[in-house]
């Protein structure tokens, strides 16, 4: 859960910076250096989801037995 919040904060960092201090320049979307950052955030989110799905598929019976008790 905290990974998702962290990734969300990174994705909206330019907007958050403007909200905190409007005098700072907006280095947000469209700037060339934000595109690799957005790609890395998306890749990290995708790998996190796939990792959780992989864990759930491998341990499905173990998890379901634990929840029944």
Share of the chain above pLDDT 70, in %: 57
pLDDT tens, position by position, 34-64: 667 677 778 888 888 888 888 888 887 776 6
Specify the pLDDT at position 66: 66
What is the rounded CA–CA span in Å between residue 34 and residue 18? 15
CA distances from 48 to 32, 41, 53 (A): 25, 11, 9
Give me the residue spans of the domains in the chain.
Answer: 2-68
Specify the pLDDT at position 39: 77
Specify the pLDDT at position 69: 54
């Amino acid at each position: 859960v905290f990974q998702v919040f962290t990734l969300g904060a990174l994705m909206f960092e330019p907007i958050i910076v403007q909200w905190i201090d409007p005098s700072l320049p907006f280095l947000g979307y469209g700037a060339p250096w934000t595109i690799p950052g957005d790609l890395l955030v998306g890749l990290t989110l995708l790998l996190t989801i796939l990792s959780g799905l992989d864990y759930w598929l491998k341990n499905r019976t173990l998890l379901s037995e634990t929840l029944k008790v």
